[in-house]
Copies of this chain bind each other. A is one copy, B any other.
């Protein structure tokens, strides 16, 4: 039997589920893979902390660095989360020649380039299938199956919390604050929901997707992000009338201005497959000239699905250990031009509160025109002497769109830019 000793960094929700699965499914995994996976050590900060699952006797340690160098540990699984101390521990393990499996999106987005280089240096694997899309197999398809495809765009619903909130707002007309409170009650949102609702969580995932899709490392500081806290139920209704859903997307795109990774709410055509993704489900939509479009959908978070993804990586890394060879990285990253977001073509939906009198539309159209943004469609709804104008633009560089918005905002006839949300569509 091919025995592989596993050292775990962390024993939270994912770690606990993984321990449970490694113990209870040991025979089934051995039958299916030929691997005898043994947990050797579990490094935690506080061994006396009450846990909802059993950890086999004698495995707990508070010395992660010692665990890493333990010759009985062949493979390190990092499920503690956060950058510190996870990052240095993962680096130590790789430098000690041990393959690492991690579910840590924040760490990979922040230090992926350094860690991948360390893995390559030691000839061991660094696998992170669980870092994006939880239980959805997406890292491996992107970095292996699609390695020979020139992808053009990857768009993903990669944060379940915000998709849950937007679904409630869309299906029940719930206000943002109420939908957020419901998400918190159900445990979908943290007491401090900032990282989810303002897009930082999705930005880390978008950085990873862009890096793998385009083979160039995209740092987190190159991923502009905004969230959903200013989306209103009114805009969701207006968008639907125009034929769109509103979704928070992580977008990785090969643009004329270079590789762009970003996170922001978008209006997406109702018939787009991502528009149908409801609740906390995640989904990733991939476009390329040969594969046309691919959709992957499934549970984006949770201990069970994430543990399945981690376990798949563990099995893969274990196979490579037994093969006994130096492991070459799946993808080699080269320097490619990263887009300045200002130069990336975007398209906008703008809701304006304007005076309802002759000449107003002409002034507004002129302001867009002067910024070199052309208008695709206008829809007007009058109420006494004020009117609501819904404008959808054609694609133009983000900077031009921002100039147009700024100019419109200062027009006397415009009482408010009530909403401004980007639009994504089939046309690139």
User: Residues of A at under 8 Å CB distance from B?
Assistant: 17, 21, 25, 28-29, 31-34, 129, 135-137, 140-141, 144-150, 215, 273, 276, 288-299, 304-305, 307-309, 311-316, 319-320, 322-332, 334
Q: A34-B332, A137-B137, A290-B307 are in contact. Are A146 and B295 (CB under 8 A)?
A: no
Q: Please tell me if the beta carbons of A291 and B312 are within 8 angstroms of each other in the complex.
A: no
CA A145 – CA B292 in complex, angstroms? 23
Closest to A311 in B: B148
When all copies of this chain in the complex are counted, the total is 2
CA A323 – CA B334 in complex, angstroms? 21
A147 is contacted by which of B29, B144, B150, B307 (Cβ under 8 Å)?
A: B29
Q: Please tell me if the beta carbons of B137 and A145 are within 8 angstroms of each other in the complex.
A: yes
A148 is contacted by which of B308, B325, B328 (Cβ under 8 Å)?
A: B308
Q: A147-B315, A308-B146 are in contact. Are A33 and B141 (CB under 8 A)?
A: no
Q: Please tell me if the beta carbons of A146 and B312 are within 8 angstroms of each other in the complex.
A: yes
* Chain B residues, CB < 8 A from A297: 273, 294-295
Q: A146-B137, A294-B136 are in contact. Are A31 and B323 (CB under 8 A)?
A: no
Q: Please tell me if the beta carbons of A308 and B296 are within 8 angstroms of each other in the complex.
A: no
Q: Please tell me if the beta carbons of B323 and A325 are within 8 angstroms of each other in the complex.
A: yes
Q: Please tell me if the beta carbons of A147 and B32 are within 8 angstroms of each other in the complex.
A: yes
* Chain B residues, CB < 8 A from A334: 31-32
How many whole Å from A120's CB to the nearest CB in chain B? 10
Q: A294-B136, A305-B292, A328-B319 are in contact. Are A144 and B34 (CB under 8 A)?
A: no
A292 is contacted by which of B129, B135, B291 (Cβ under 8 Å)?
A: B135
